[in-house]
Structure 1
């Protein structure tokens, strides 16, 4: 009896506190096996995937609104640090990553499995209509924006309210921060259910479409990883070279080795902050600068997130046969970079902002959340690589943007 109770406790501990990566892998494998053994049963458990996606859909709009509001309202101003060049590098690097993802998605257009049903997609005719829809979305009623998941309007109202609340009393700011923490907790609970949701999504998708869907996922992962490697080994070194005017690769490889590898396994930029601060200290950087720039970079320096948002959005666009002109693609790069800067710190946080980018092309929230579900399926690899790129780039750009002696990488 005691042995049975011990086993139950161990199972409960694994489910509640175990490695999410391991659990997602188990869910992925279980879904594949079930679809192979019993397609009918696989179709039945598709309800689990639908519930998971529905839970994400319900919390994502309010989460984006509160997180952005709280972030702006509680921003500390007045600290004198050499952050200007570093911030510019953060923004340029994130935009460049989004642009690389756009170009790669045009060169290697991919499609993904989506359940279209009776969904009607109304793609814009060109960049002028995109801008018109964008402006109309910005001034949408905030309540309606939340109800209809109009993420452009949600972001606009969140920024406006955040700026207004910067003048509020400390108690009000604390309430907003606590609400942000509460919603983040709810999202973490939903994310802990990802293995079950992915089990249902994979099983039902393969049962309906066959094992060709796995090949689609493999291609998607290959494109994402290819973009991230190109940014890490080509784009970022070029940006750093123009800043320090010397060979950037010793610094690049140092950051990848001592920060990127750790971040790959922790899958959390926030958890990797102590590692990055220790590396900055080892590089001989100014503490007054890196003590601010590293935590800030963990929040807004999101090249990997920009790649994820762009690639998955354009995969959905190609699947639906929506035409994309050059100017609209450029606008997507800008929007993806902005969205990436506001990505939530929870696992898979960048995926929750995909609907914002999808809304540019008239893709409904229901279809966009299916794309988010695909992102969670490939998230075991994607999120690890994304975090490794994001976190290692925090140190790289902090070192390159710092004023004073060149970083000691020897």
Structure 2
């Protein structure tokens, strides 16, 4: 199992869950659901710690590197993320009612109530709620940037390393257990066929949105910079393909950097913008999480509007600045706002994890390709507004 990638293990977990839910007696399925429930409770316990461990050091690092070029890049990257999430919401709202089936129509009533319950539950109360963790993380991050305390900063980074170890060594490897239990449960109550059909339709829309946003990003950047957007996009194809293979923006940095320089971006701007955007620019991931959230809410008959989803998109853009550098890290960082702002329970969170990670490579590819467009735009704007950008960085 260790030799298999995370996606392969999740696919295997889904298949096993469907098989177990189809042929096993109820007590077997409930046993698996019990194990899945225990792990899900531990994951919920970890969410505030994940927020503190990644958001606080991330904000602290940005603040300590403050400068005009940094501020310009962060503003453009965050604006791109907000645009991508908002576009995804409006497209999803128009298309998903015709594509997504409601689970309640298959099982009758509330689909959450139809699922099998675990034999027993082990409560793991969180040390604080999600919003408290967010506020604490922001206060600590801004405070570290202002006070410039090396000891506090090092302490928070060591705490971040602990959370990374827990994620990479325990939570991520055991995610297949959560997914297997969820799909066994869904299969047993007769929801899985509807769910798999919905998956395929949602992915088609998501990948189309990724490509659309890339085209818009390069059109805007190249119009401002006076370049050919089609040629610029073609130049970035190696970075797109590499990201699909690595599932990591950080691992793709060398290729993204090389192709960005081939697009005529000055070396100092490329060397600054690309590594930074690998951390803070997640337009593809935002499209995916927003679209998956809308689909899961529709499946569960939940109401939503742009007034409720836009604050979620704004928080999502901030949360994923701190996304850990592991496959599926963005969705792990986003679980807190899914829970606190949209009311997602453990089963809905498990569906979000499965939906997201199954196409994580395409979201990453959209992220890194868009980084090249931001570099083109920053390279042009810094000559217009920041004549001494090099020193400011």
Contact 2:111 2:300 in 1 (8 A): no
- Cross-structure match for 2:180: 199
What is the alpha-carbon distance in structure 1 between the residues aligned to residue 226 and residue 4 of structure 2?
46
Matched, 1:24 2:20: no
Task: Report the alpha carbon displacement of residue 47 of structure 1 after superposing the two structures with TM.
Answer: 2.9
2:304 to 324, 337, 341: 324
Q: Verify: 1:285 aligned to 2:248, yes or no.
A: no
What's the counterpart of residue 308 of structure 1? 288
Q: Show CA shifts across 1:265-306 (max 9, x none).
A: 111111111222232343443332222211211111000221
The Cα of 1:358 is off from its aligned counterpart by: 4.9
Q: What SS is found at the alignment partner of 1:209?
A: coil
Q: 1:249 to 1:381 in 2, by over 3 A?
A: farther
Residue 60, structure 1, aligned to residue 47, structure 2: yes
Question: Which residue of the other structure, out of 94, 101, 109, is the alignment partner of 2:88?
Answer: 101
List aligned pairs for 1:7-406, cutoff 5 A.
15-38=1-24, 40=26, 41-75=28-62, 77=64, 82-83=69-70, 85-107=72-94, 108-109=96-97, 110=100, 116-117=112-113, 147=127, 149-150=129-130, 152-166=131-145, 167-189=147-169, 190-210=171-191, 211-233=193-215, 235-255=216-236, 257-352=237-332, 353-361=334-342, 363=343, 367-403=344-380
Q: Deviations over 1:345-394 (max 9, x none)?
A: 33222223144145334x2xxx3443321122234432111111111111
What's the TM-score once normalised by structure 2's chain length? 0.80
Determine if contact 2:292/2:355 at 8 Å carries over to the other structure: no
C-alpha separation between the residues in 2 aligned to 1:391 and 1:106? 26
In the alignment of these two chains, the number of paired residues is 359
Cα distance, 1:34–1:194 mapped onto 2, change above 3 Å = same
Distance 2:345 2:230 in 1: 38
C-alpha RMSD over aligned residues: 3.0
Tell me the residue number matched to 1:7: none
For residues 241 and 278 of structure 1, the distance between their equivalents in structure 2, rounded to whole angstroms, comes to 18
Distance apart, 1:262 and its partner CA? 0.7
C-alpha distance 226-53 of structure 1, shift in aligned 2 (>3 A): farther
Q: Give the structure 1 partner of residue 107 of structure 2.
A: none
Unaligned runs of 5+ in 2: 104-109, 115-124, 384-393
Query: Structure 1 pair 37/214, CA: closer, same or farther in 2 (3 Å)?
Result: same
Q: Using a 3 Å threshold, how does the CA distance of structure 1 residues 76 and 213 change in structure 2: closer, same or farther?
A: closer
| Inter-CA distance 34–263: structure 2 relative to 1 (3 Å threshold) | same
Equivalent pair of 2:288/2:356 in contact (CA under 8 Å): no
Q: Which runs of 5+ in 1 are unaligned?
A: 1-14, 119-144, 406-410
Check conservation: 2:210, 2:363, Cα contact below 8 A: yes
How has the CA–CA distance of structure 1 residues 358 and 193 changed in structure 2, closer, same or farther, with 3 Å as cutoff?
closer
* TM superposition score normalised by structure 1: 0.77
The 1:283–1:45 alpha-carbon spacing in structure 2 relative to 1, beyond 3 Å, is same
Residue matched to 1:3: none
SS for the counterpart of 2:189 is helix
Given that 1:293 and 1:398 are in contact with CA atoms closer than 8 Å, whether structure 2 keeps it comes out as: yes
Q: Distance in 2 between the 1:287 and 1:250 partners?
A: 19
CA contact (8 A) 1:93 1:239 kept: no
1:76–1:201 CA distance, 2 compared to 1 (3 A) = same
- CA drift of 1:335 comes to 3.1
